[in-house]
Amino acid sequence: MKLAAFSACLPHASLAEVLDYLAANEIHGLELGVGAYPGTRHANAHELATRNDTRQSLKQACDARGVSLVALSCQGNPLHPDTALAAAHDRDLRATIEAASALEVPLVIAFSGQPGSGGVLNWPVIGWPQEYADHYEHSWRDSLIPYWQPLVERARALGVKIAIEMHGGFAVHSPATLRRLRNACGPNLGANVDPSHLWWQLIDPASAISRLGDAVFHVHLKDVAFRPDVLNDTGVLDCTPHARMDERAWFFCPPGEGHDVTTWQGIIDALQGIGYGGALSIEHEGRAPATDAVAATARWIRALSQRERRGVTRTSAATS
């Protein structure tokens, strides 16, 4: 497994500064945001797809620092009921797939998207009243599957895989929903497993990884912590903005701050159990400054690996 970091962790840094930072902290993989929600601060999918000089410049910048591109990220909502936003995210995603092929980057990270009506999102999460279940099935039958089937086929033809990040607010948010889309689109579509987004849904990430097996294409390193008092008041479906972190029932944090070493070791063991050899990509959305948190996470995951190799735990992980 290769240690990487998501460029969106450092939104105020230039691409050169991001690469310098990764090299200085011995993080040798880069998940590069190129459009939609991650934005184009560090790279633009459309330019990468159409301009060889832009691609060569990116490759040279990475090579000079010993950093390799592990994925291009374009998490957005191409099914958004705001048709202008949906069209923009769709264009970004298609350009990202073309850019990944041109760069020989094997993987694109995306959200599944979620439709609605009247310009407003609608994420059904319960089966009754019946209207919710009907809308859920309608979303899959008429929006999700027809959109993704030809796009996944295009990516396959270009030698690029698509990893859908299982994320609340979108149709694919769990192992079951990921499998449903994969079954409809084929094995070129798989999962980006971010444990934090599974834990708040009360899904055990290690179990999810084992269930998904070779459908796991990418992994984010991010934790979540709960405030039991607030949780008992709001439940897990807490719509308090993340900017008001102190008021939320759950909030994102670096690995080890929400769940202990043994729990995280179980995730690494599960990844090894399915033969995963992809990236462990650090993502930071917590309170601490990103420059501190990303470096600390890199040290933490290396310490976990060393702990294994000393025989303290069952197996050995390889992060480089």
pLDDT in tens, 205-258: 999 999 999 999 999 999 999 999 999 999 999 999 999 999 999 999 999 999
Question: Mean pLDDT across the stretch 296-302?
Answer: 97
pLDDT value at position 314?
38
- CA-to-CA distance for 95 and 256, rounded, in angstroms? 36
- CA-to-CA distance for 129 and 109, rounded, in angstroms? 34
pLDDT value at position 307?
72
Asked if residue 87 is part of any domain, the answer here is yes
Could you tell me what percent of the chain has a pLDDT over 90?
Answer: 93
Range of the domain at 229: 2-309
Report how far apart, in Å, the C-alpha atoms of 172 and of each of 130, 145, 165, 190 are.
Answer: 20, 11, 8, 11
pLDDT value at position 313?
42
pLDDT in tens, 16-27: 999 999 999 999
What pTM was estimated for this model as a whole? Answer: 0.95
pLDDT value at position 309?
61
Asked if residue 22 is part of any domain, the answer here is yes
Q: Which residues contact 205 (CB under 8 A, 6 or more apart)?
A: 193, 195, 198, 199, 267, 270
pLDDT in tens, 262-282: 999 999 999 999 999 999 999
Contact 40, 34 (CB under 8 A): yes
Pure H helices in the chain: 15-24, 45-50, 52-64, 83-103, 130-139, 145-157, 175-185, 195-199, 205-212, 228-234, 261-273, 290-309
pLDDT in tens, 143-158: 999 999 999 999 999 9
Contact 38, 92 (CB under 8 A): no
Asked if residue 44 is part of any domain, the answer here is yes
Contact 59, 103 (CB under 8 A): yes
Asked if residue 160 is part of any domain, the answer here is yes
Asked if residue 316 is part of any domain, the answer here is no
Asked if residue 227 is part of any domain, the answer here is yes
* Domains contained in the chain, number: 1
Contact 181, 145 (CB under 8 A): yes
pLDDT in tens, 87-117: 999 999 999 999 999 999 999 999 999 999 8
Question: Mean pLDDT across the stretch 275-301?
Answer: 96
Rg (C-alpha) for the chain, rounded Å, is 19
Question: How many other CB atoms are there within 10 angstroms of residue 40's CB atom?
Answer: 14
Asked if residue 48 is part of any domain, the answer here is yes
Q: Give 152 or 313, the one with higher predicted confidence.
A: 152
Could you tell me what percent of the chain has a pLDDT over 70?
Answer: 96
In this structure, what CATH number is given to the domain that contains residue 152? 3.20.20.150
pLDDT value at position 310?
62
pLDDT value at position 317?
42
Whether the per-residue pLDDT at 316 is higher than 70: the answer is: no
Asked if residue 315 is part of any domain, the answer here is no
Question: Mean pLDDT across the stretch 58-87?
Answer: 98
279 forms beta bridges with 2
pLDDT value at position 202?
98
- CA-to-CA distance for 8 and 107, rounded, in angstroms? 17
- CA-to-CA distance for 253 and 3, rounded, in angstroms? 18
